[in-house]
Protein backbone atom coordinates (compact mmCIF):
# COMPACT_ATOMS: atom_id res chain seq x y z
CA UNK A 1 0.00 0.00 0.00
CA UNK A 2 1.47 3.37 -0.87
CA UNK A 3 2.35 5.82 1.87
CA UNK A 4 -0.31 8.42 1.02
CA UNK A 5 -3.20 5.91 1.15
CA UNK A 6 -1.87 4.51 4.44
CA UNK A 7 -1.75 8.01 5.95
CA UNK A 8 -5.36 8.72 4.87
CA UNK A 9 -6.54 5.38 6.27
CA UNK A 10 -4.79 6.01 9.60
CA UNK A 11 -6.30 9.51 9.85
CA UNK A 12 -9.78 8.10 9.13
CA UNK A 13 -9.40 5.36 11.76
CA UNK A 14 -8.21 7.89 14.33
CA UNK A 15 -11.14 10.23 13.64
CA UNK A 16 -13.67 7.38 13.95
CA UNK A 17 -12.23 6.01 17.19
CA UNK A 18 -12.14 9.22 19.27
CA UNK A 19 -15.77 10.17 19.92
CA UNK A 20 -19.08 8.31 20.28
CA UNK A 21 -20.95 8.21 16.96
CA UNK A 22 -23.62 10.62 18.18
CA UNK A 23 -21.14 13.10 19.63
CA UNK A 24 -19.04 12.98 16.48
CA UNK A 25 -22.06 13.72 14.33
CA UNK A 26 -23.20 16.38 16.74
CA UNK A 27 -19.98 18.34 16.79
CA UNK A 28 -18.43 17.85 13.40
CA UNK A 29 -21.14 18.63 10.85
CA UNK A 30 -21.01 21.81 8.78
CA UNK A 31 -22.01 25.06 10.48
CA UNK A 32 -25.67 25.93 10.02
CA UNK A 33 -26.38 29.39 8.62
CA UNK A 34 -27.96 30.88 11.74
CA UNK A 35 -28.61 34.25 10.15
CA UNK A 36 -31.12 32.67 7.76
CA UNK A 37 -32.95 30.82 10.54
CA UNK A 38 -36.16 32.67 11.51
CA UNK A 39 -35.68 31.99 15.24
CA UNK A 40 -32.52 34.08 15.31
CA UNK A 41 -34.10 36.93 13.38
CA UNK A 42 -37.00 36.94 15.88
CA UNK A 43 -34.70 37.15 18.85
CA UNK A 44 -31.74 39.19 17.69
CA UNK A 45 -31.30 40.87 21.05
CA UNK A 46 -30.80 37.58 22.89
CA UNK A 47 -27.52 37.23 24.67
CA UNK A 48 -27.28 33.53 25.26
CA UNK A 49 -25.17 31.39 27.57
CA UNK A 50 -25.06 27.59 27.41
CA UNK A 51 -24.21 26.08 30.80
CA UNK A 52 -23.61 22.35 31.01
CA UNK A 53 -22.45 19.55 33.28
CA UNK A 54 -21.26 16.33 31.68
CA UNK A 55 -19.20 13.43 32.97
CA UNK A 56 -19.08 11.34 29.82
CA UNK A 57 -19.37 13.96 27.03
CA UNK A 58 -22.96 13.20 25.96
CA UNK A 59 -24.40 16.44 27.30
CA UNK A 60 -21.21 18.22 26.27
CA UNK A 61 -21.69 17.29 22.60
CA UNK A 62 -25.26 18.59 22.66
CA UNK A 63 -24.25 21.76 24.51
CA UNK A 64 -21.46 22.63 22.09
CA UNK A 65 -23.60 21.99 19.03
CA UNK A 66 -26.40 24.12 20.46
CA UNK A 67 -23.97 26.89 21.43
CA UNK A 68 -22.56 27.01 17.92
CA UNK A 69 -26.03 27.37 16.40
CA UNK A 70 -27.06 29.95 19.00
CA UNK A 71 -23.78 31.88 18.73
CA UNK A 72 -23.74 31.54 22.52
CA UNK A 73 -21.05 31.64 25.16
CA UNK A 74 -20.40 28.37 26.97
CA UNK A 75 -19.78 27.61 30.64
CA UNK A 76 -18.93 24.11 31.81
CA UNK A 77 -19.70 23.20 35.41
CA UNK A 78 -16.51 21.50 36.58
CA UNK A 79 -16.62 19.74 39.95
CA UNK A 80 -13.89 20.53 42.44
CA UNK A 81 -13.55 16.79 42.98
CA UNK A 82 -13.70 15.09 39.57
CA UNK A 83 -15.97 12.06 39.19
CA UNK A 84 -14.04 8.84 38.63
CA UNK A 85 -15.54 5.83 36.84
CA UNK A 86 -16.14 4.25 40.26
CA UNK A 87 -17.96 7.41 41.39
CA UNK A 88 -20.32 7.04 38.43
CA UNK A 89 -21.01 3.29 38.65
CA UNK A 90 -24.68 3.80 39.43
CA UNK A 91 -26.69 1.36 41.52
CA UNK A 92 -23.51 0.40 43.43
CA UNK A 93 -23.98 3.00 46.18
CA UNK A 94 -21.26 4.98 44.43
CA UNK A 95 -20.53 8.63 45.12
CA UNK A 96 -23.12 9.81 42.54
CA UNK A 97 -25.77 7.45 44.00
CA UNK A 98 -25.11 8.78 47.51
CA UNK A 99 -25.25 12.41 46.38
CA UNK A 100 -28.55 11.88 44.57
CA UNK A 101 -29.96 10.24 47.72
CA UNK A 102 -28.84 13.07 49.97
CA UNK A 103 -31.14 16.10 49.82
CA UNK A 104 -28.39 18.26 51.29
CA UNK A 105 -25.58 17.19 48.97
CA UNK A 106 -24.08 20.17 47.14
CA UNK A 107 -20.84 19.06 45.42
CA UNK A 108 -18.37 21.94 45.17
CA UNK A 109 -17.75 23.68 41.86
CA UNK A 110 -14.11 24.26 40.85
CA UNK A 111 -14.57 27.55 38.99
CA UNK A 112 -17.61 29.82 39.14
CA UNK A 113 -18.86 31.93 36.23
CA UNK A 114 -17.54 35.49 36.57
CA UNK A 115 -20.93 37.07 35.92
CA UNK A 116 -24.24 36.11 34.37
CA UNK A 117 -25.41 39.71 34.16
CA UNK A 118 -25.02 40.13 30.41
CA UNK A 119 -27.14 37.07 29.53
CA UNK A 120 -30.90 37.10 29.20
CA UNK A 121 -31.26 33.48 28.05
CA UNK A 122 -29.46 30.58 29.71
CA UNK A 123 -29.59 27.04 28.34
CA UNK A 124 -28.76 24.54 31.10
CA UNK A 125 -27.79 20.98 30.19
CA UNK A 126 -27.25 17.98 32.46
CA UNK A 127 -27.42 14.17 32.49
CA UNK A 128 -30.33 12.53 34.29
CA UNK A 129 -29.11 10.89 37.47
CA UNK A 130 -31.80 8.75 39.11
CA UNK A 131 -34.52 10.75 37.46
CA UNK A 132 -33.15 14.12 38.53
CA UNK A 133 -30.46 16.66 37.73
CA UNK A 134 -27.09 15.96 39.42
CA UNK A 135 -26.77 17.80 42.72
CA UNK A 136 -24.00 20.02 41.37
CA UNK A 137 -26.67 21.82 39.31
CA UNK A 138 -28.25 22.82 42.62
CA UNK A 139 -24.88 24.05 43.85
CA UNK A 140 -24.67 26.33 40.83
CA UNK A 141 -28.26 27.58 40.81
CA UNK A 142 -28.26 28.34 44.55
CA UNK A 143 -25.04 30.29 44.12
CA UNK A 144 -25.93 32.59 41.20
CA UNK A 145 -28.65 35.13 40.49
CA UNK A 146 -30.80 34.16 37.50
CA UNK A 147 -33.72 36.49 38.20
CA UNK A 148 -35.15 38.09 35.08
CA UNK A 149 -33.59 35.47 32.81
CA UNK A 150 -35.20 32.78 30.72
CA UNK A 151 -33.87 29.30 31.41
CA UNK A 152 -33.96 26.55 28.78
CA UNK A 153 -33.27 23.20 30.49
CA UNK A 154 -32.16 20.16 28.50
CA UNK A 155 -30.84 16.75 29.43
CA UNK A 156 -29.62 13.41 28.14
CA UNK A 157 -30.18 10.00 29.69
CA UNK A 158 -29.95 6.29 28.99
CA UNK A 159 -33.73 6.11 28.61
CA UNK A 160 -35.58 8.24 31.20
CA UNK A 161 -37.42 11.40 30.31
CA UNK A 162 -36.70 14.81 31.83
CA UNK A 163 -39.49 14.14 34.37
CA UNK A 164 -39.44 16.55 37.31
CA UNK A 165 -35.72 17.28 36.97
CA UNK A 166 -36.11 20.86 35.77
CA UNK A 167 -39.12 21.77 37.91
CA UNK A 168 -37.10 20.73 40.97
CA UNK A 169 -34.18 22.89 39.83
CA UNK A 170 -36.56 25.76 39.25
CA UNK A 171 -37.59 25.60 42.93
CA UNK A 172 -34.15 26.78 44.07
CA UNK A 173 -34.20 29.82 41.76
CA UNK A 174 -36.06 33.08 42.04
CA UNK A 175 -37.63 35.28 39.38
CA UNK A 176 -36.50 33.31 36.32
CA UNK A 177 -38.81 32.08 33.61
CA UNK A 178 -38.28 28.38 32.83
CA UNK A 179 -39.15 26.65 29.59
CA UNK A 180 -40.23 22.99 29.63
CA UNK A 181 -37.19 20.69 29.82
CA UNK A 182 -36.17 18.84 26.69
CA UNK A 183 -34.61 15.39 26.78
CA UNK A 184 -32.29 15.10 23.79
CA UNK A 185 -32.32 11.66 22.27
CA UNK A 186 -28.88 10.03 22.09
CA UNK A 187 -29.38 9.38 18.38
CA UNK A 188 -30.12 13.00 17.53
CA UNK A 189 -28.18 14.42 14.62
CA UNK A 190 -26.37 17.73 14.84
CA UNK A 191 -29.03 19.26 12.58
CA UNK A 192 -31.82 18.11 14.94
CA UNK A 193 -29.97 19.60 17.90
CA UNK A 194 -29.48 22.90 16.11
CA UNK A 195 -33.10 22.99 15.08
CA UNK A 196 -34.28 22.30 18.66
CA UNK A 197 -31.92 24.97 20.07
CA UNK A 198 -33.05 27.66 17.63
CA UNK A 199 -36.72 26.80 18.08
CA UNK A 200 -36.28 26.97 21.87
CA UNK A 201 -34.60 30.35 21.51
CA UNK A 202 -37.59 31.58 19.49
CA UNK A 203 -39.83 30.32 22.34
CA UNK A 204 -37.97 32.51 24.82
CA UNK A 205 -38.95 35.60 22.82
CA UNK A 206 -42.69 34.92 23.21
C1 LIG B 1 -25.39 8.21 38.87
C2 LIG B 1 -26.08 8.02 37.55
C3 LIG B 1 -27.46 7.86 37.53
C4 LIG B 1 -28.13 7.71 36.31
N5 LIG B 1 -29.49 7.60 36.34
C6 LIG B 1 -30.15 7.48 35.16
C7 LIG B 1 -31.59 7.42 35.15
O8 LIG B 1 -32.26 7.54 36.17
N9 LIG B 1 -32.20 7.24 33.94
C10 LIG B 1 -31.50 7.14 32.77
O11 LIG B 1 -32.11 6.98 31.72
N12 LIG B 1 -30.14 7.25 32.74
C13 LIG B 1 -29.45 7.42 33.90
N14 LIG B 1 -28.08 7.55 33.89
C15 LIG B 1 -27.38 7.60 32.59
C16 LIG B 1 -27.05 9.03 32.16
O17 LIG B 1 -28.18 9.88 32.31
C18 LIG B 1 -26.64 9.09 30.68
O19 LIG B 1 -25.61 8.18 30.43
C20 LIG B 1 -26.24 10.49 30.27
O21 LIG B 1 -26.46 10.65 28.88
C22 LIG B 1 -24.79 10.81 30.61
O23 LIG B 1 -24.47 12.12 30.17
P24 LIG B 1 -22.94 12.58 30.12
O25 LIG B 1 -22.24 11.63 29.15
O26 LIG B 1 -22.94 13.97 29.58
O27 LIG B 1 -22.39 12.51 31.50
C28 LIG B 1 -27.39 7.70 35.09
C29 LIG B 1 -25.99 7.84 35.12
C30 LIG B 1 -25.35 8.01 36.33
C31 LIG B 1 -23.85 8.20 36.35
Nearest one of 12, 43, 18, 27 to 203, comparing CA atoms: 43
pLDDT of residue 43: 56
pLDDT in tens, 110-137: 999 999 999 999 999 999 999 999 999 9
Residue of the CA atom closest to atom 2 of ligand 1: 129
Query: Which residues make Cβ contacts (< 8 Å) with residue 97, sequence separation at least 6?
Result: 90, 91, 130
Distance in Å, CA 121 to ligand 1 centroid? 25
Query: Which residues make Cβ contacts (< 8 Å) with residue 135, sequence separation at least 6?
Result: 99, 100, 102, 105, 106, 107
Long-range Cβ pairs for the range 165-168 (8 Å, 24+)? 165/126, 165/128, 165/131, 165/132, 165/133, 166/133, 168/132, 168/133
Q: What is the pTM of this model?
A: 0.84
> Could you tell me which CATH class the domain 29-78+107-204 is placed in?
alpha beta
Task: Using the predicted structure, report yes or no on whether residue 28 has a pLDDT greater than 50.
Answer: no
- Alpha carbon distances (Å) from 103 to 98, 132, 139, 174, 192: 10, 12, 12, 19, 35
Q: Is the CB of 128 under 6 A from ligand 1?
A: yes
pLDDT of residue 44: 61
Residue with the larger pLDDT of the pair 148 and 20: 148
Locate the domains of the chain by residue range: 29-78+107-204
pLDDT in tens, 41-79: 455 678 999 999 999 999 999 999 999 999 999 999 999
Q: Is the CB of 125 under 6 A from ligand 1?
A: no
Distance in Å, CA 191 to ligand 1 centroid? 23
Give the range among 24-33, 164-173, 178-187 with minimum mean pLDDT.
Answer: 24-33
Q: Is the CB of 50 under 6 A from ligand 1?
A: no
199 band by pLDDT with thresholds 50, 70 and 90: very high
The sign of the dihedral angle between the CA atoms of 195, 116, 172, 101 is: positive
pLDDT of residue 103: 96
Please provide the average confidence, as pLDDT, over all residues in the chain.
86
Distance in Å, CA 156 to ligand 1 centroid? 7
Distance in Å, CA 39 to ligand 1 centroid? 31
Q: Is the CB of 95 under 6 A from ligand 1?
A: no
- Alpha carbon distances (Å) from 52 to 31, 115, 133, 166: 21, 16, 11, 13
Residue of the CA atom closest to atom 7 of ligand 1: 130
Residue of the CA atom closest to atom 30 of ligand 1: 129
Beta-strand (E) ranges in the chain? Answer: 48-52, 73-76, 121-127, 150-156, 177-178, 182-183
Task: Using the predicted structure, report yes or no on whether residue 7 has a pLDDT greater than 80.
Answer: no
Mean pLDDT over 98-110 rounds to 98
Residue with the larger pLDDT of the pair 27 and 105: 105
Give the range among 42-56, 84-98, 187-201 with minimum mean pLDDT.
Answer: 42-56
Relative to beta strand 150-156, strand 73-76 is unpaired
Distance in Å, CA 158 to ligand 1 centroid? 6
Closest-lying ligand 1 atom to the alpha carbon of residue 160: 11
206 band by pLDDT with thresholds 50, 70 and 90: confident
Distance in Å, CA 127 to ligand 1 centroid? 5
Amino acid sequence: MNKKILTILLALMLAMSCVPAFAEDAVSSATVNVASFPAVAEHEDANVLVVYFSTDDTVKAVALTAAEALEADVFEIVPEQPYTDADLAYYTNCRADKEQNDRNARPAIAVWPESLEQYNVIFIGYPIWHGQAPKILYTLLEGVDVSGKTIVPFCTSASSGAGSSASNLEKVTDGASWLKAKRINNHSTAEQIRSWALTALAETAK
